[in-house]
Amino acid sequence: MIYDYEYFKKEIYSLTTIDLNAYKEKQMKRRIDTLIAKHKIVGYDKYVQALKTDKVLFEEFVGYITINVSEFYRNPEQWKYLEETVIPELIQRFGKNLKVWSAACSTGDEPYSLVMALSRHIPLQQIRIYATDLDKQVIAKAKTGLYGEKSIEGVPEDLKKKYFGPEGKLYKKRTSLMTPIQEEIYNAVKDISDLRGYSLVLDRASDTGIIFASPKVDISNEVLTKLGYSAN
């Protein structure tokens, strides 16, 4: 087998579902080669093996190649069209219980913007948005909810006053803005696992590694009994 860049792209897609073909090849290949050289690893095959076994290295790689450029109400014309045309049409067709997924949500600017845009048409308590990103660091920042003034300068003034409060040079999203964001996908994973008969679902990028475990594989009581403790 030839362990060239084509091989590397296929392996990365298998590991992360990130399609490196979507990037400018010369630029991305140069960035990746620089990262590999930084760790003194020789060859794409050795680096792929390291990514499979080293969680820290894996997370560094994902953070390195993903582009986390985001801001609230980026491209205002598009948001205006969304608010005035798209959202009303969606509500007319599907009702107010819309399900929205913000994939690659970065630091949260986009899903929070979606909440605000939808809040002009739907009560806040009815809005549900699923926000996900491969990069755990940007997800952590999204949860913190602190943004520079420049990040929110595109937000309409009425929404800015309603959903943000000043904290020095930073602005903090109000708690109400976080409520509609659904970061938990456990129930969906559980349903799929039950349907397909999976006992265990693993996620290499998570802290625990396990995102679902069927009660059928829980041996806690047996372990307690073995150790001489009551399971009750």
- In a 10 Å sphere around its CB, with 0-12 CB exposed, 13-18 middle and 19+ buried, how is residue 56 labelled? exposed
Residue carrying structure tokens 């990514």: 51
SS (H, E, C) 87-125: HHHHHHHHCCCCEEEEECCCCCHHHHHHHHHHCCCCCHH
What is the pairing mode between strands 128-132 and 99-103? parallel
Q: For residue 169, what are its two tokens? A: 């040079």
- In a 10 Å sphere around its CB, with 0-12 CB exposed, 13-18 middle and 19+ buried, how is residue 37 labelled? exposed
First to last CA, the chain: 56
- Give the whole-angstrom CA distance, residue 223 versus residue 62: 38
Q: For residue 35, what are its two tokens? A: 């990262």
Where do the DSSP E strands lie in the chain?
Answer: 99-103, 128-132, 146-148, 164-167, 170-173, 181-182, 200-202, 210-213
Question: Domain boundaries in the chain?
Answer: 5-65, 76-182, 186-226
- Give the whole-angstrom CA distance, residue 24 versus residue 110: 25
- 90 or 207, higher pLDDT: 90
The arithmetic mean of pLDDT across residues 25-32, rounded, is 88
Q: For residue 128, what are its two tokens? A: 């549900």
**Over the range 176-193, which residues count as b (16 or more CB within 10 Å of their CB) and which as e?**
ebbebbbeeeeeeebeeb
- Residue 193 confidence (pLDDT): 75
- Residue 62 confidence (pLDDT): 82
pLDDT in tens, 48-87: 999 999 988 988 888 777 665 578 998 888 899 999 999 9
**Phi and psi torsions of 175, nearest 5°:** -55, -35
Question: Residue 39 — very low, low, confident or very high, per pLDDT cuts 50/70/90?
Answer: very high
Model pTM score: 0.53
- 34 or 206, higher pLDDT: 34
Q: Are 204 and 191 in contact (CB under 8 A)?
A: no
A 10 A CB-CB count for 116 gives: 25
- Residue 207 confidence (pLDDT): 45
| Mean pLDDT over the full length of the chain | 80
pLDDT in tens, 162-221: 888 876 555 777 777 877 776 555 566 677 777 877 777 665 544 445 555 666 656 656
Question: Residue 132 — very low, low, confident or very high, per pLDDT cuts 50/70/90?
Answer: confident
CATH number of 76-182: 3.40.50.150
Q: Are 159 and 97 in contact (CB under 8 A)?
A: no
